[in-house]
Amino acid sequence: MIDLKAFEVWFVTGSQHLYGEETLRLVAEHSQTIAASLNSPSQMPVTVVFKPTVKSTEEIYSICAAANNDKNCIGIIAWMHTFSPAKMWIGGLKILHKPLCHLHTQFNRDIPWNDIDMDFMNLNQSAHGDREFGFMVSRMRINRKVIVGHWQDPEVLQQLNGWSRSAAGWNDWQGAKFVRFGDNMRYVAVTDGDKVEAEYKFGYAVNTHGIGDLVTVINQTSDAAIDTLIEEYSDQYTLMPSLLKGGEKYNSLRDAAKIEIGMRAFLQDGNYKGFTDTFEDLHGMAQLPGIAAQRLMAEGYGFAGEGDWKTAALVRAMKVMGSGLKGGNSFMEDYTYHLDPANSMVLGSHMLEICPSIADGKPSCQVHPLGIGGKDDPVRLVFNSAAGPALNASLIDMGNRFRLLVNEVEAVAPINDLPKLPVARVLWKPYPDMKTGCAAWILAGGAHHTGYSQNLTAENLQDFAEMASIEFALIGKNTNLYQFKNELRWNEVFYQINK
């Protein structure tokens, strides 16, 4: 999987020369203590690196330039222990293009009522020092995260942890490559979009390979490699009898394994972080990749069906953000509804390709007809998904901007067995309620394809959207349609003005 510890966030403390050596020595000491504490493995998924206090325009510019150029640095946490006159920050902030988190904290949690004197006041100035810094960041209209509270406060640590995950997801997109096997599903609108603008805005490239390029690689797969992979399938999943050696569909399993091996080789060779395919363009392939797409997703590749490159890239970013957390992230589609007024819910699924990282229990490996596409029956993993808080995220191209739309949902345990449904599935109830949640989603132009997450929060995705400087819209517990419609209208004006 993706190891976030390889990435660094730099802990940068601002000050000035005014205070003299003793105060600056304490500033450095305190900053080091905070950085070291944040860096303990239980606190942050990434590595926190202490940087010497910056005290002048030149030092601030240098640290920002260095952060930009360091490929392991995914963002800066800034804190003004003392007062750091913010005109000194203009030059540095102007060039900084890594995510910024302003930690509004203080070294001591409590006021030392009996001992507080002017030396203490001279040193512990973040209550006003951070406001001077905050003004300049706002004055320059720079997106950043502001986290308030003592640096040992669990809530603060949780927010820092989340922000650094978003920064890791954002960093992962920079220079990333996604491949589309074939084009978009014919005539479909929401899965398409402006790939040039996406590369400019998001930093990743999306390019297409004709399906023949992939088929060539698939056809190079050796029988021995297929045997090995089938053993792995037998270890990890419950195979239905027809897929066992000697069974009538054993050859379908071999075809599926061959496709998986070929796809993995293609992705590794091209250094891709994700891919799309479409059931309409499988020329030369025996079956639609089902188990292949599912297992590649579980390895960390982004994926979405029908040429949906935006969702494939989003799923990849979500996997990076959620790395190491309990629960998973998957490509998802709102498939069908249960409209019982007393218990309304959505059944989420896809033709095949749901990531087993969200499986509850051991998946079963099955083969069934697909019904569309005219190819052999595809092999797929079938499973249920656990109950609990989750969300759906959709990245859409509104023509003049990208919008990241999130709906918080509550996944529910399967209420029935679904013995004839041969695909992985999830049941959920959208917040704030079924009718409002679905209406808001449709009004916002949200896609039928999403990234489904069991371990990310709306705040993670909001931070991510701010790093990307794109619109973020949330449908959550407090959403009401009147307010939400106005928000969309007002955003329309904002993004026209703020081009």
List residues near Mn ion by CB under 5 A: 305-306, 333
Q: Which amino acid does the sequence have at 108?
A: N
**DSSP three-state, residue 265:** helix
- Residue 185 Cβ vs Mn ion, minimum distance, rounded to whole Å: 8
**DSSP three-state, residue 150:** coil
Residue nearest to Mn ion (CB): 305
Q: Toward Mn ion, which CB reaches closer, 281 or 333?
A: 333
Q: Which residues face 330 on adjacent strands?
A: 452
Q: Toward Mn ion, which CB reaches closer, 124 or 450?
A: 450
Q: Toward Mn ion, which CB reaches closer, 137 or 405?
A: 405
Q: Toward Mn ion, which CB reaches closer, 280 or 377?
A: 280
- Residue 335 Cβ vs Mn ion, minimum distance, rounded to whole Å: 9
Q: Toward Mn ion, which CB reaches closer, 280 or 333?
A: 333
Query: What does the alpha-carbon distance between residue 236 and residue 107 come to, in Å, rounded to a whole number?
Result: 50
Nearest-10 crossing angle of helices 309-321, 154-173 = 140
- Residue 350 Cβ vs Mn ion, minimum distance, rounded to whole Å: 6
- Residue 186 Cβ vs Mn ion, minimum distance, rounded to whole Å: 13
Upper half-sphere CA count for residue 191 (Cβ side, 13 Å):
23
- Class of residue 203 by CB neighbours under 10 A (exposed 0-12, middle 13-18, buried 19+): middle
Q: In the block, which residue shows the tokens 């045997």?
A: 227
- Residue 331 Cβ vs Mn ion, minimum distance, rounded to whole Å: 9
Q: Toward Mn ion, which CB reaches closer, 67 or 332?
A: 332
Whether the CB-CB separation of 378 and 367 falls below 8 Å is answered with yes
- Residue 129 Cβ vs Mn ion, minimum distance, rounded to whole Å: 51
| 267: its two tokens | 């992705």
- Residue 308 Cβ vs Mn ion, minimum distance, rounded to whole Å: 7
Q: Toward Mn ion, which CB reaches closer, 305 or 328?
A: 305
**Polymer length in residues for the chain:** 499
Task: State the CB neighbour count (10 A cutoff) for residue 228.
Answer: 12
- Residue 333 Cβ vs Mn ion, minimum distance, rounded to whole Å: 5
| 101: its two tokens | 């988190």
Whether the CB-CB separation of 277 and 287 falls below 8 Å is answered with no
Q: Toward Mn ion, which CB reaches closer, 82 or 276?
A: 276
Q: Toward Mn ion, which CB reaches closer, 294 or 455?
A: 294
Put residue 232 in one of left, alpha, beta given phi > 0 → left and psi -120 to 50 → alpha: alpha
Q: Which amino acid does the sequence have at 499?
A: K
Query: In 413-475, which ranges are E strands?
Result: 426-430, 449-453, 471-475
- Residue 274 Cβ vs Mn ion, minimum distance, rounded to whole Å: 16
Task: State the CB neighbour count (10 A cutoff) for residue 41.
Answer: 8
